[in-house]
């Protein structure tokens, strides 16, 4: 390695040169083109004087961001990282050219990624320590840039939402000042959608087809990846009765084709509470497993919020709130290998409709009638009383949590 180039790189950082200039110097030091990527997929710096003869690289730099597919894959870092390396990285081949990605972190805060593109088989000629050194130096520069950014300038909507998730605003006044510089309408209603990306894998770095497809389904939305979750802020107008049925059908079809599940929050009228509604959407996706009907790839928070409430009660205490009769059914199921709890829950959720219950459980109507009759006979349940049925339904939902 050229020690003179290394010293010039360090001196440039000490002198406070612009991030683009430092990235350019670092690229010449490593002998590889570099791209610095924010956590919202924006390309915030690249080596302008050292570029590869690669259309994918040039196209990404020209448009100013990497594909949503790729940043979603990087979010699943632990599943895709190289093995046997001293410093964590992900190495992939795109268009027969290797790329290596390093995390940019300061104080355990993820600031983005460094993309190193190989030139003429050069990767293995540079030690892991040198790549790590450059990644750390650039991470410090990105951190300083974030701390010293001009908040009087218009923010990218994705960065604004990320600030909300990170609790970056001192107070509501600070939030309002930043809101004025965003593209969001303070009087509009929105919904938050969350798609967990734990098993997502795509090294498509060319056309941003994932984002394009989602914008066709949810036009005008803002999307970003945070903590292995794709977070989407969409207009609540998309969920109006005249638009929602067709949109949700298309969304369900697309999610299934991609083997993805989505949670959808309640409507939000104040983006100051964006993180709360993000949590709602996450809960909707994660508590979907407790629903009897899991035929759709999306779940509204309203369908599962009772489980969110029940989760606040310690497991050891939850049973004390459960109906005695329902707990007896739970014990009977365990001893006799029956599944009366699920039948009872489906029956009550279906407003005691035998036909709907049979459809939920994929059994014949006679089977439902037999099971409900046996439940009444064995446990003396009065399912015709609204108050009793409500208590039993809630208790069945408690049992669902306890069975997990």
Three-state secondary structure of the chain: CCHHHHHHHHHHHHCCCCHHHHHHHHHHHHCCCEEEEECCCEEEEECCCCCCCCHHHHHHHHHCECCHHHHHHHHCHHHHCCCCCCCCCEEEEECCEEEEEEEEEECCEEEEEEEEECCCCCHHHCCHHHHHHHHHHHHHHHHHHHHCCCCCCCCCHHHHHHHHHCCCCCCHHHHHHHHHCCCCCCCCCEEEEEEECCCCCCCCCCCCHHHHHHHHHCCCCEEEEECCEEEEEEEHHHHCCCCHHHHHHHHHHHHHHCCCCEEECCCECCHHHHHHHHHHHHHHHHCHHHCCCCCCCEEEHHHHHHHHHHCCCCHHHHHHHCCHHHHHHHHHHHHHCCCHHHHHHHHHHCCCCHHHHHHHHCCCHHHHHHHHHHHHHHHCCCCCCHHHHHHHHHHHHHHHHHHC
Alpha-carbon distance of 62 to 66, in angstroms, equals 10
Residue 56 phi/psi, 5° resolution?
A: -65, -45
Q: Which pLDDT band, with edges at 50, 70 and 90, does 151 fall under?
A: very low
Per-residue confidence (pLDDT) for residue 152, from 0 to 100: 44
Give domain 3-147's CATH number out of 3.10.580.10, 3.40.50.720, 3.40.50.1860, 3.30.450.40. 3.30.450.40
> In the sheet that 90-94 helps form, which strands lie side by side, from edge to edge?
43-46, 34-38, 109-117, 97-106, 90-94
Token pair for 253: 């079809």
Q: Which pLDDT band, with edges at 50, 70 and 90, does 40 fall under?
A: confident
Q: Domain extents for the chain?
A: 3-147, 157-300, 315-403
pLDDT digits (tens, 9 = 90+) for 242-279: 999 999 999 999 999 999 999 999 999 999 999 999 99
86 or 168: whose pLDDT is higher?
86
List Cβ<8 Å contacts ≥24 apart for 89-97: 89/131, 91/123, 92/203, 94/56, 94/203, 94/205, 95/54, 95/55, 95/56, 97/52, 97/54
315-403: in CATH 2.60.15.10: no
Q: Taking residues 81-88, what's their average pLDDT?
A: 93
Per-residue confidence (pLDDT) for residue 397, from 0 to 100: 92
Per-residue confidence (pLDDT) for residue 350, from 0 to 100: 87
Residue with tokens 């440039």: 12
pTM assigned to the model: 0.80
Q: Is residue 173's pLDDT more than 80? A: yes
Q: Which pLDDT band, with edges at 50, 70 and 90, does 148 fall under?
A: low
339 or 154: whose pLDDT is higher?
339
10 or 387: whose pLDDT is higher?
10
Domains 3-147 and 157-300 share a fold: no
Residue with tokens 């084709």: 257
Q: Is residue 153's pLDDT more than 80? A: no
Question: What architecture is domain 157-300?
Answer: 2-Layer Sandwich (3.30)
Instruction: Determine contact, residues 310/364, Cβ cutoff 8 Å.
Output: no
Per-residue confidence (pLDDT) for residue 82, from 0 to 100: 94
Per-residue confidence (pLDDT) for residue 147, from 0 to 100: 67
Per-residue confidence (pLDDT) for residue 113, from 0 to 100: 95
Instruction: Determine contact, residues 148/172, Cβ cutoff 8 Å.
Output: no
pLDDT digits (tens, 9 = 90+) for 356-396: 999 889 899 999 999 999 999 999 888 888 888 888 999 99
Alpha-carbon distance of 347 to 384, in angstroms, equals 12
Per-residue confidence (pLDDT) for residue 155, from 0 to 100: 56
Q: Taking residues 105-126, what's their average pLDDT?
A: 89
Per-residue confidence (pLDDT) for residue 122, from 0 to 100: 80
Residue with tokens 């390396």: 85
**Burial status of residue 17 (CB atoms within 10 A of its CB: 0-12, 13-18, 19 or more):** middle
Q: Which pLDDT band, with edges at 50, 70 and 90, does 154 fall under?
A: very low
Per-residue confidence (pLDDT) for residue 1, from 0 to 100: 67
Per-residue confidence (pLDDT) for residue 117, from 0 to 100: 95
């Amino acid at each position: 390695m050229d020690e003179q180039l290394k010293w010039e790189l360090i001196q440039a950082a000490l002198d406070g040169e612009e991030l683009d200039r430092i990235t350019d110097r670092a690229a010449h030091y490593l002998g590889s083109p570099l791209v610095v990527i924010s956590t919202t997929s924006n390309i915030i710096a690249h080596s302008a004087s050292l570029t590869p003869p690669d259309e994918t690289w040039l196209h990404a730099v020209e448009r100013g961001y990497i594909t949503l597919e790729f940043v979603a894959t990087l979010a699943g870092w632990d599943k895709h990282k190289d093995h046997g390396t001293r410093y964590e990285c992900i190495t992939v081949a795109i268009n027969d050219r290797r790329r290596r990605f390093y995390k940019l972190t300061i104080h355990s805060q993820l600031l983005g990624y460094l993309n190193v593109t190989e030139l003429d088989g050069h990767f293995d000629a540079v030690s892991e320590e040198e790549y790590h050194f450059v990644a750390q130096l650039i991470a410090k520069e990105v951190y300083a840039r974030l701390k010293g950014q001009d908040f009087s300038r218009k923010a990218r909507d994705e960065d604004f939402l990320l600030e909300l998730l990170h609790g970056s605003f001192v107070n509501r006044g600070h939030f309002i000042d930043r809101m004025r510089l965003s593209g969001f309408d303070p009087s509009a209603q929105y919904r938050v959608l969350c798609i967990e990306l734990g098993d997502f894998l795509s090294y498509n770095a060319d056309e941003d087809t994932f984002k394009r497809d989602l914008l066709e389904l949810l036009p005008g939305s803002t999307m970003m990846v945070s903590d292995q979750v794709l977070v989407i802020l969409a207009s609540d107008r998309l969920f109006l009765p005249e638009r929602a049925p067709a949109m949700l059908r298309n969304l369900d079809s697309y999610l299934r084709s991609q083997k993805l599940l989505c949670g959808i929050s309640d409507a939000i009228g104040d983006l100051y509470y964006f993180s709360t509604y993000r949590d709602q959407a996450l809960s909707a996706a994660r508590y979907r497993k407790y629903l009897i009907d899991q035929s759709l790839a999306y779940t509204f928070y309203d369908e599962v919020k009772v489980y969110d409430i029940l989760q606040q009660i310690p497991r050891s205490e939850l049973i004390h709130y459960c109906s005695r009769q329902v707990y007896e059914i739970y014990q009977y199921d365990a001893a006799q290998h029956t599944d009366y709890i699920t039948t009872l829950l489906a029956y009550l959720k279906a407003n005691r409709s035998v036909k709907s219950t049979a459809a939920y459980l994929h059994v014949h109507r006679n089977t439902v009638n037999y099971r409900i009759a046996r439940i009444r006979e064995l446990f003396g349940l009065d399912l015709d009383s609204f108050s009793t049925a409500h208590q039993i339904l809630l208790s069945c939902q408690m049992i669902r949590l306890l069975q997990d």
